Amino acid sequence: MKAFILPLLLLGLGGTTVSAAPPSRIDTRQTWTASWWSSELQQYGCKPVIFVFAKATFEPGNLGGTIGPSLSDGLKSVFGVTNVATQGVNYYGLAEGNYYPGGAPPWGIYDMQAIITSAAACPHSKIVVSGYSQGAAIVHRAIEGLPAATRSRIAGVATFGDTQTLQDGGRVKGYPANQTLIICNSGDIICTGMLWPLFPVHWDYVKWVPTATLFLAQAVLAANEADPWPTNSTGNGNGSTSAFGGDLEALGGELGPGVTRRAPVPTRLVAFPDIPPVETGIGS
């Protein structure tokens, strides 16, 4: 039953009840992502960046304990803690969900669509979406089923250990390939459409979080060129409200192989010869 509560609450956020906090106001309750749960869009309303994440099979909470919290904090390290609203998708993450048509359970698809629809009601907010394993399948099915106007509000998508990589041709159907990053480790058979056996390489994706952070940060900045945040609408999360300058050198940590902060991230990092990587990226 819990899986259906959040969508109803989020749908209630639409319209005038979702509003951006005044630029000078810092909500001290919003902080780094320290748990398996995050519902900051529901709790705090519109923020300059809205991050929607679907966890992997068997992961706890609505955010999981691996990619979700790490990627959330990566984005917060770039744009400021109080400028990013991280919202996890509420679904049970049972193994059986992988066997639904399209590899995703309907309630997970519905919940992600409800979250993105609510986020799209936020003026000037930049929406980025990600998912891991079964959560990646939810990303595919949710985004392809959105109305075009809502889908166009999504600035960038990044998936990890994507169960739908081969089936969907290495992209999210109906969504621009140059705004999509699909990361699959070499040897991860999940990305070839097989669900069994699971090898340890399928759980080795945290190392790619800096690359995905950079990619999504680039996507946010590209979207901001077309629809700028109001002046002084973003700060550094420490009380300052000076406009974010877009300096990606603020992104710390080690990036993925062959990626620099100044170079565009390839739209796919798929380590299989039958799905050749695309070398174009945001800013290329």
Write the CA distances from 175 to 1, 22, 132, 152, 158, integer angstroms: 31, 32, 18, 8, 12
Distance (Å, whole) CA 133 – CA 122: 28
Active site residue 188: yes
Distance (Å, whole) CA 252 – CA 235: 18
Judge whether 76 and 125 are in contact, CB under 8 Å.
no
Annotated catalytic residue: which of 73, 111, 162, 188?
188
Find where tokens 């399948």 sit.
137
Nearest to 172 by CA among 251, 262, 54, 8: 54
Annotated catalytic residue: which of 72, 73, 202, 233?
202
Annotated catalytic residue: which of 133, 162, 168, 233?
133
Active site residue 124: no
Active site residue 133: yes
Residues annotated as catalytic are: 133, 188, 202
